[in-house]
Structure 1
């Protein structure tokens, strides 16, 4: 069958891809279908055709899979925040484990790796402590009545439509954030509309309102509001900050980040504190962390404690070891390990992250952690310390091959690898498997209703090395 973009046809969905798309096949040719579930029979329209695969969207659900449920969110399927609300949570965990195992087998050649059942998120909804919303000059509407417009000129504040940088869905609430966050979202949207000050145009790069970032400290039940604008205009924002503070007693601070860069990043070159001190405190386990508007902090405060506890268990520290932590960020893993090790050395490329790490150590009275600023592959070349355990928590792209080589050269007895991407986890473990035994891997679900999955791997140096 010769397939062309725009073709419509029936398709049986038999698998689920990492990325959340259902998989169907015509004469063994793979077709990815967003929003489809294994067991669905669907009529689809081809939207993209490549040499080895195609993409399609559902135009009619002919037979629903027994696995399919009704999503609780009215924006499900049209919003980029979730991909799997139409799957029961137990099946989400099943597919996430499968994705880890498939990556290990297909990419890493690690068919015999022991992969445990995923540790479930403590909360299915309301688990995020941070949400970032985008302002736009045009509201995009989900497909419904064919006579209704697809978009409408006017300020929008919401989340991007999957696969579209320019379309913003003007949402009223997000179930991944606690309900107070949605009420703050509504107040900010109403104020921005009434201000008559234009939103920033994603294409025109003109306008004022750019992003709204909300942070929530679950431990203290306090909130931070960060309004990101294209220009400095405190007179326009102070009345909003005052209104928010009066309306929401648990709002601790309101800040204004200002960025003139065209890149769609909700971080400013300047920051103006409008109310409070510009900081939020949160806890993970017994430890307290200070969070500024642009600090990196794990977005699921409750479940990340399970991930860090797994790191502690896999490291098997007895109090006398030296730990090397690569990609140490704001110091959360070193702080968790500090009571079990003699000394911990973290290496991090971002200066602001090291500053946060040092502040967090001071706030928790931790004195056996120190941090080195610089490129990891260069710093490992100059390293004078011989680590007993190396903890690696890289970004989604995984480790650079030069970093892998330098890690292997250290011949540490044990490595604990923390990953947010099964594909790069498998690739990096494959590069280390000749020298290290992959003992076990523990997936941790930090992001219910999405395809994302974290995993912690325990590696032990082989005896002949």
Structure 2
């Protein structure tokens, strides 16, 4: 193998021809690839080589000499420091094109499903201020003031900031308000280094359709100093706040919330709706952070399920019942399965809240419950899965194949594990008909997909 054509700390001129799945520019020198953040296809720029490997190098964009028409000025002041967004420097059209190509490439390379149609990504009309939930750490600035902000890339150094461009503006203002009040009362932030201090995180949740606001203050200590005054000042600043909550996390851990949660004022839940379905959201509920796109995602899943009113549907990894309750509107019966017991409690409450009687929810591992159901003679017409990033357990995929439903609707947040699992289902007698990507997280490299599989008939 010949030596790499570049050396560390060398500055070179490079023309970029492609993007990685994370949104980094790709340029080649005598066939040797260099990956460069913030560079776009069609651009030429000066690049400082910062890491050299046998088969590739990583560079830093020093200067853009020939800019792409798809380059835009990021509106966020801390974009290049913060690790939250990766794509603000490219037009939204290019973001959607990049994500469609990512899904197409993954289907081809991992799933060997290059023939399957991957549709253009369903995007947002306004791809900003869409997140209904923020979790942000407290820290201390050099002058001793309290600060809040996201972590700098690949570090636990907090960037002092008061606005995030992808957060609901109510969330931004609530974080700013709580920081100001805590500063006023001299409450110290938590320090990881010696496990000292009080304030760890603030979490804010907003009901997009209802305007309900919940604020959760997370401390290391069992008591929140100046609790009554803080509650009163939050209510004065935000008359619309519905819930003020205190959570205690006294462990040395990266997990944000602890086990002890107390409502200081207001309701235990806030409410939001997706379509016609209402959801009660508690501090620890899993709930999609972009309800506008979630509605589009679930509408697509419902379209692929093609329910006529007589079907039995199983929803694996059902969470708090979001997809299950959508399906129940058009199915005879829906069975939801989820390993997290509190989520199933929420799912049952949400079914009751919406007067939906044909959805049942069970706690357990889907890969173990499916074979048991099959032994009882259950034969679902449609199976819907929405697994975590690691995809479906292979035992679950085999159980789905054994159950022989007419259709499988696979909702995925990770194209790589989706392609892997579709290959297994294809080999088990199902045909992948199409894949519809949905942009749930604009300005980031993430993309969700809904896929339709049909049982092959001999």
2-structure distance, mates of 1:230, 1:304: 34
Q: 1:296 to 1:10 in 2, by over 3 A?
A: same
Offset of residue 4 of structure 1: 4.5
1:284 to 270, 274, 277: 274
2:283 to 281, 285, 293: 293
2:368 equivalent to 1:378: yes
Mapping of residues 4-23 of structure 1, within 5 Å: 4-23=7-26
- Segment of structure 1 superposing worse, 81-90 or 285-294: 81-90
User: Is the contact made by 1:439 and 1:457 (CA closer than 8 Å) also made in structure 2?
Assistant: yes
C-alpha RMSD of matched pairs (Å): 1.7
Per the normalisation by structure 1, the TM-score is 0.93
- Segment of structure 1 superposing worse, 345-354 or 200-209: 200-209
Cα deviation 1:4-46 (Å, max 9, x = unaligned): 4444333222211112222222332332222222223232333
Query: Alignment partner of 1:460: what SS?
Result: strand
Q: Could you say which residue in structure 1 is the equivalent of 2:153? A: 162
Per the normalisation by structure 2, the TM-score is 0.94
Query: Alignment partner of 2:153: what SS?
Result: coil
2-structure distance, mates of 1:51, 1:154: 46
2:29 equivalent to 1:26: yes
2:117 to 93, 96, 114: 114
1:199 to 189, 196, 203: 189
Q: Could you say which residue in structure 2 is the equivalent of 1:341? A: 331
- Segment of structure 1 superposing worse, 351-360 or 207-216: 207-216
- Segment of structure 1 superposing worse, 294-303 or 182-191: 182-191
Q: Could you say which residue in structure 2 is the equivalent of 1:363? A: 353
Offset of residue 303 of structure 1: 1.6
Query: Alignment partner of 2:271: what SS?
Result: strand
2:438 to 432, 435, 444: 444
2:86 to 61, 83, 97: 83
Query: Alignment partner of 1:86: what SS?
Result: coil
Cα deviation 1:31-71 (Å, max 9, x = unaligned): 22222222232323333344433323223333322210111
**Structure 2 unaligned regions, length at least 5:** none
Q: Could you say which residue in structure 2 is the equivalent of 1:239? A: 229
Offset of residue 239 of structure 1: 1.9
**Structure 1 unaligned regions, length at least 5:** 140-151
1-structure distance, mates of 2:308, 2:408: 15
- Segment of structure 1 superposing worse, 363-372 or 398-407: 398-407
1:397 to 387, 390, 393: 390
User: Is the contact made by 1:122 and 1:303 (CA closer than 8 Å) also made in structure 2?
Assistant: no
1-structure distance, mates of 2:454, 2:165: 41
Aligned length: 451
Cα deviation 1:425-444 (Å, max 9, x = unaligned): 11111111131111111111
Q: Could you say which residue in structure 2 is the equivalent of 1:136? A: 139
Query: Alignment partner of 2:244: what SS?
Result: strand
User: Is the contact made by 1:136 and 1:202 (CA closer than 8 Å) also made in structure 2?
Assistant: no
2-structure distance, mates of 1:289, 1:245: 24
2:418 equivalent to 1:425: yes
Offset of residue 122 of structure 1: 4.1
Offset of residue 169 of structure 1: 1.1
- Segment of structure 1 superposing worse, 198-207 or 85-94: 198-207
1-structure distance, mates of 2:153, 2:323: 32
Query: Alignment partner of 1:168: what SS?
Result: coil
1:126 to 100, 111, 129: 129
Q: 1:260 to 1:81 in 2, by over 3 A?
A: same
